[in-house]
Amino acid sequence: MQRRTALAAFAALSASATGVGFAQQRPSARPFTEGTVRDLARELAKSPYRAPESRLPRGFADLDYDAYRTLRFDPQRGLWRGDNLGFQVQLFHRGFLYAPRVELYEVVDREARPVPYDPTAFTLGDRPPPPADFGHAGFRIHFPLNTQGVLDEVASFLGASYFRAVGKGLNYGLSARGLAIKTADAAGEEFPLFRAFWLERPHAGANSVVVHALLDSPSATASFRFTIRPGENTIFDVQATVCPRVEVTAAGIAPLTSMYYFAPNDRAGIDDHRGAVHDSDGLMLATSRGEQIWRPLHNPRDLQVSQFAEVNPRGFGLMQRRRAPGDYNDLEAAYEQRPSLWVEPIADWGPGTVQLIEIPTNDEIHDNIVAFWRPQQPMRPGEEYNFVYRLHWLPVVQGNPDLAQFVDTRSGAAPGNARLFVLDVVGGKTEVPEGTLPVLDLSAHAGEIRHPVVQRNPQTGGWRVHFQLVPGSARLVELRAVLKLGERPISETWLYRWTA
């Protein structure tokens, strides 16, 4: 079989945007190498953006969430089922919010073959089957994560460039994305799409599976290689190459998306029997200087954007530190079983900022928290930008074991229009002599701090910190706290943005 160029493959992809699928434009199999998807992204960036086929027939375009869930894939038809490979793949049907057509391929012996759409593989009810070239919306990966011989869903790719995963004993919670563009921009956010996936058939007994993805948007294209290793800490090794079509000044690399509704530090106006409702309760950042930052999340009245300037960060992520069922008292949602997600850069990323975006919400069904890395320099057309990083989906990120962590932040009213803050700090390796208290290094960029206290907490074996903030006329106050022994920090750095 004659090798086809990346440009010819791009022409086939463009054809799919007008409703003609890859399978109709090329042989049933074609060569595939480690550079195939990167070449596709490079060539695709040279042409104007063309949106993928998103038209849905009646019965699929007007679905709500519950109706969409009835479009079930038959597990007996899963990719690699019966092949004793450990991994299996099940497919998502197009419909509801998931209208764009996504092309899927299986890679075997360095050849890629299309995974054809088959309406008989889905429970469609009384809906007429779509045409044979209808395509899919995404896929999910199954693996015996919790019990030997029992397949669990460990990862899924569905909608725009969203994907999510779990570690052992966890349920789905927050999501990651391939690329974010213009998040919180007044002109509106741009949501890049995964246009196609290539799933490498694993070897028998393999503990990982490789997925390649092609991303496309009006501003940029990108290629991704995900090596997925399920476990107690499910790991995605990510190799990404971004190819801008235009100058991109507001890119978000390794974006994370989560939900935060309320918690003990932030429940003004909440009338709810539960103690907390969130998929994540804080942003954690490990700087190149060795500092560990903890920033509790907030459901603000107005959109809030926080920036943490850094050069070559060691890691950042959205954490779910509250792990006890009693923290939430929600037997159905089981928020204590939602994963934390940690981004570990493998190579130097240079100067930039970790950005945290907090969007107001009045319920728990909307993701309203976004965090990502924004490079300092714009991405320019004609250039390629490589990012290598590792995603850790796990219950708790230990961070620097030498430093104690702020595991609980509570806030309430205090006399004189003040706010009382109560913080619990546990862990770390520093032995504080009996009769000695750590020094509280506490500051506020506005307002006034009153009555700061540090005391031992016999219930946790750690420390209790409490103080009052008198904001005065300030509508926003940035707070910072760290425990020290002499001049040496013995805790991570607690940052908090209070808003009126």
Residue-level pLDDT at 388:
98
Q: Reduced to 3 states, what is the DSSP secondary structure of residue 491?
A: strand
Spatial contact of 286 and 313, defined as CB atoms under 8 Å apart: yes
Residue 12 confidence (pLDDT) = 54
pLDDT digits (tens, 9 = 90+) for 423-436: 999 999 999 988 89
> What pLDDT is stored for residue 19 in this prediction?
34
Q: What is the DSSP letter of 203?
A: P
Q: Which residues of 311-331 are buried (b: 16+ CB within 10 A; e: fewer)?
A: eebbbbbbbbbbeeeebbebe
Q: pLDDT under 70 in the chain at which residues?
A: 1-27
When the pLDDT of each residue in the chain is averaged and rounded to a whole number, the result is 93
| Dihedral class, residue 447 (left if φ above 0, else alpha if ψ from -120 to 50, else beta) | left
Amino acid at 274: R
Which pLDDT score is estimated for 473? 95
- Say what the pLDDT of residue 10 is: 40
pLDDT tens, residue by residue, 209-242 = 999 999 999 999 999 999 999 999 999 999 999 9
Q: How far apart are CA 124 and CA 183, in angstroms?
A: 36
* 8 A C-beta contact, residue 295 and residue 478: no
* pLDDT (0 to 100) of residue 386: 98
SS3 480: strand
Q: What contacts 371, CB < 8 A, 6 or more positions away?
A: 255, 256, 258, 283, 316, 317, 318, 354, 355, 356, 357
Classify 339 as helix, strand or coil. Answer: coil
Tokens found for residue 95:
């419909």
- Residues 60-73: pLDDT tens digits? 999 999 999 999 99
Q: Is the CB of residue 407 less than 8 Å from the CB of residue 398?
A: no
* Cβ atoms 107, 201 nearer than 8 A: yes
Helix (H) or strand (E) holding 453, with range, is strand 448-457
**293: helix, coil or strand?**
strand
Q: What pLDDT shows up at residue 496?
A: 98
- DSSP-derived 3-state class of residue 25: helix
The DSSP-derived string for 353-422 is EEEEEE---SSSSS--EEEEEEESSPB-TT--EEEEEEEEEES-----TTSEEEEEEEEEEETTTEEEEE
The pLDDT value recorded for residue 434 is: 86
Quick one: 122 exposed, middle or buried, by C-beta within 10 A (0-12, 13-18, 19+)? buried
The CA distance from 60 to 372, in Å, is 33
Give dist(CA 57, CA 436) in Å, integer: 71
Which pLDDT tens digit goes with each residue over 382-434? Answer: 999 999 999 999 999 989 999 999 999 999 999 999 999 999 999 999 999 88
Give the torsion sign (CA, 304, 308, 312, 313). Answer: negative
Question: How far is the CA of 304 from the CAs of 102, 281, 293, 499, in angstroms?
Answer: 34, 16, 18, 9
Q: How many CB atoms lie within 10 A of CB 208?
A: 19
Pairwise CA distance, residues 212 & 36, whole Å: 9
Q: Which pLDDT does position 28 carry in this prediction?
A: 79
Task: Output the pLDDT for position 435.
Answer: 85
The three-class DSSP label of residue 53 is: coil
* pLDDT score, position 1: 32
